[in-house]
Structure 1
């Protein structure tokens, strides 16, 4: 095999828990020289992780993979201004590092989980050093910008559309984590390109190591980031309607994020019973919580972009063969219906959310188990780790 060197560029990398860590190790273990350009780890809290310095530049290692880190502006989870400053800061500092190290790599791989601006250092290397550039898009701009709450206007539209055209027309290969992204990206391309659908796979796969016993007869569990877009306020209000008739039902929320304290206040103000805020847990402990649950919950606000998205927790939930309750519209409810894996509700309709909670609370253990029988089929068909690692390698390294 010919030696190849790869630079991965992205906002997130170990110790932050993303699928890119797995991909980097896979390439390293298959004989490729891999390095990473990212920022100081801070997700999801918006604060520098313990053991790391928020320096102008620092070099760390993960599984013998060199990681070039640039600073993060802390507090971005609760401020749009700081969030935008972070985008600019990353582009500025990462581009400086890219100028010094970019020439020595054969391939540039952009892992875009949030802002599309993260790709600009990769575009710079492409333009200056004529390197092959691949982007794996996890979040669709400009749609996500508007879904987050920014109001469309002529200036913002012009800036975002120019950015999107620049990034995707500069990329040699394009992969998307959600099938619905492809036609939207295609509209910005000057010439025809193949856009490969390569979804995420579960980064948690082991069995439970400690048997947990939740309170109650039926337990719903949400796991992951707790922010504005997760729509958990409406989920809680829907649950409050159902739990009155099913006092042995519990809702467990595992995770942390910018909306956690607001949700705690909502539970207290509305006197919603049987809600457990468990806090953030390491990935190694999450199988214990999934195995102890009867139904796994996924929720997103009502926005067109989220109708074509498959959040990465969906693949993880499938791994544990539990019924899924989706409070959202679009692709995920469609898959639940097609494979008979659970129920869904409109993310804006609190009464409907409550009714679906009641419907699932009414099911027996046997009926709940039957609801998840097709999880393995769906996992293998679309979200198989080995298949998707090979697909990413084929489009990036060929």
Structure 2
């Protein structure tokens, strides 16, 4: 098959679409990627990119077509909206010109924004090729949950927009079973919706701790709680700092890896509170994450208590499970249920600093053997439910069915 992938985010930005594209290419399919210029999560264009022109390049022998766009900036709703709309517009206008060719199917990757669907809709209108749309973030629900859009009339407009995008899609994949009723509510019949959970790349695997390497990376000795990923409002990391303050007298390290719109504010808050146990180590390559995770006694995943996030399975959860370390989940709903079902860690109510602090103490009081057993159970659950090759088989089968190759 020849697959056109439409995604606002792509390498060197760290999103799972990079591995999905690689996996499909390794299976013998021709893949072309229509994307923007990398600027996530810092909000500034990555070195070597300006966002001003069409740029054609290769990623592991895969053709990548980048259209002009505005960078997302930091802590500016207006700037983020322009970022979303600029890719949608440039992808719709320039995409058909730069992505000329015969495709069997169009695959859209949507971790947000939903507007990534517009270039695919234009391509379908011009070529007649079907769309498989991979929903990882529900609109308008996520816009309301993060406070990005609060006006009722504006949310209704977004809902109308999403209905139009869904109507144009031949198959919709969702990362959480709890998403299915929400997608159906917008007029999509059940036979057009499929559950396709996120997986973790094969590089995520259990590794042994390396004390010397850990010291070189700035990781202190002692019980370590580690968070990795985007630091935005949805991740509720201010509550984590409050928990760190509650446990100030305990010997517990709080390590933050990653970047995002809240990072500067979080660092400032940690400084104001004199939380010397909290360390922000910045973004590191995905290839280093398993090595970092191996140094942690608990891997933290957190979201706010909004109803939407109870439906969500955070992408980092699969990576944590794959690396076989105990998980500390400050979550509601499906994500928390996975941790409990797997026996892979401890869960607590989100946005509750005291509850999070108590959960940390529960994990610390366990023996090393007990924590290791949690990690092993998490890895076994990952292999049974989120293993890469099995899920890529499912995706390949779906793309062939929709593209008329079966």
For normalisation by structure 1, the TM-score amounts to 0.94
- CA–CA separation in structure 1 for the residues paired with 2:188 and 2:297: 49
Q: Which consecutive unaligned segments of at least 5 residues does structure 2 have?
A: 402-406
* Structure 1 residues 296-355: Cα deviation after superposition (integer angstroms, max 9, x where no partner): 111111211111111111111111111100112111211222222111222222221222
Q: Which of 191, 194, 199 pairs up with 1:193?
A: 191
Judged with a 3 Å threshold, the aligned counterparts in structure 2 of structure 1 residues 151 and 138 are, in CA distance, closer, same or farther, namely: closer
Query: Displacement of 1:190 after TM fit?
Result: 5.3
- Corresponding residue for 1:353? 356
Query: Which segment drifts farther, 22-31 or 318-327?
Result: 22-31
Q: Is the counterpart of residue 110 in structure 1 residue 108 in structure 2?
A: yes
* Structure 1 residues 136-178: Cα deviation after superposition (integer angstroms, max 9, x where no partner): 1111111111112034434313311211111112111111112
User: What is the aligned residue count?
Assistant: 393
- CA–CA separation in structure 2 for the residues paired with 1:41 and 1:371: 37
- Corresponding residue for 2:262? 259
- Corresponding residue for 1:127? 125
Query: Displacement of 1:383 after TM fit?
Result: 0.7
Q: Which of 38, 46, 68 pairs up with 1:41?
A: 38
**Contact 1:294 1:322 survives alignment (8 Å):** yes
- CA–CA separation in structure 2 for the residues paired with 1:91 and 1:102: 18
- CA–CA separation in structure 1 for the residues paired with 2:284 and 2:332: 28
**Contact 2:206 2:324 survives alignment (8 Å):** no
**Contact 2:6 2:35 survives alignment (8 Å):** yes
- Corresponding residue for 2:404? none
2:84 is paired with a residue whose SS is: helix
Query: Displacement of 1:366 after TM fit?
Result: 2.0
- Corresponding residue for 1:70? 67
Q: Which of 176, 181, 184 pairs up with 1:183?
A: 181
- Corresponding residue for 2:282? 279
* Structure 1 residues 201-246: Cα deviation after superposition (integer angstroms, max 9, x where no partner): 11342565964254233111111111221111111111221232x2
Q: Which consecutive unaligned segments of at least 5 residues does structure 1 have?
A: none
For normalisation by structure 2, the TM-score amounts to 0.92
1:12 is paired with a residue whose SS is: coil
- CA–CA separation in structure 2 for the residues paired with 1:358 and 1:13: 39
* Structure 1 residues 217-276: Cα deviation after superposition (integer angstroms, max 9, x where no partner): 3111111111221111111111221232x2x21111111222112111111212223112
Q: Is the counterpart of residue 17 in structure 1 residue 14 in structure 2?
A: yes
Q: Is the counterpart of residue 82 in structure 1 residue 79 in structure 2?
A: yes
Query: Displacement of 1:53 after TM fit?
Result: 3.3
- CA–CA separation in structure 2 for the residues paired with 1:129 and 1:95: 13
Q: Is the counterpart of residue 372 in structure 1 residue 337 in structure 2?
A: no
Query: Displacement of 1:103 after TM fit?
Result: 5.6
- CA–CA separation in structure 1 for the residues paired with 2:190 and 2:337: 29
After TM superposition, list the pairs within 5 Å mapping 1:134-173 onto structure 2: 134-173=132-171
**Contact 1:36 1:66 survives alignment (8 Å):** yes
- Corresponding residue for 1:220? 225
Judged with a 3 Å threshold, the aligned counterparts in structure 2 of structure 1 residues 16 and 134 are, in CA distance, closer, same or farther, namely: same
1:123 is paired with a residue whose SS is: helix
Judged with a 3 Å threshold, the aligned counterparts in structure 2 of structure 1 residues 261 and 305 are, in CA distance, closer, same or farther, namely: same
Runs of 4+ off more than 6 Å: none
Judged with a 3 Å threshold, the aligned counterparts in structure 2 of structure 1 residues 191 and 263 are, in CA distance, closer, same or farther, namely: closer
Judged with a 3 Å threshold, the aligned counterparts in structure 2 of structure 1 residues 77 and 395 are, in CA distance, closer, same or farther, namely: farther
1:15 is paired with a residue whose SS is: coil
2:346 is paired with a residue whose SS is: strand
**Contact 1:327 1:346 survives alignment (8 Å):** yes
**Contact 1:123 1:167 survives alignment (8 Å):** yes
- CA–CA separation in structure 2 for the residues paired with 1:72 and 1:99: 16
- CA–CA separation in structure 2 for the residues paired with 1:77 and 1:108: 31
Judged with a 3 Å threshold, the aligned counterparts in structure 2 of structure 1 residues 192 and 355 are, in CA distance, closer, same or farther, namely: closer
Judged with a 3 Å threshold, the aligned counterparts in structure 2 of structure 1 residues 55 and 293 are, in CA distance, closer, same or farther, namely: same
**Contact 1:326 1:345 survives alignment (8 Å):** yes
- CA–CA separation in structure 2 for the residues paired with 1:180 and 1:102: 37
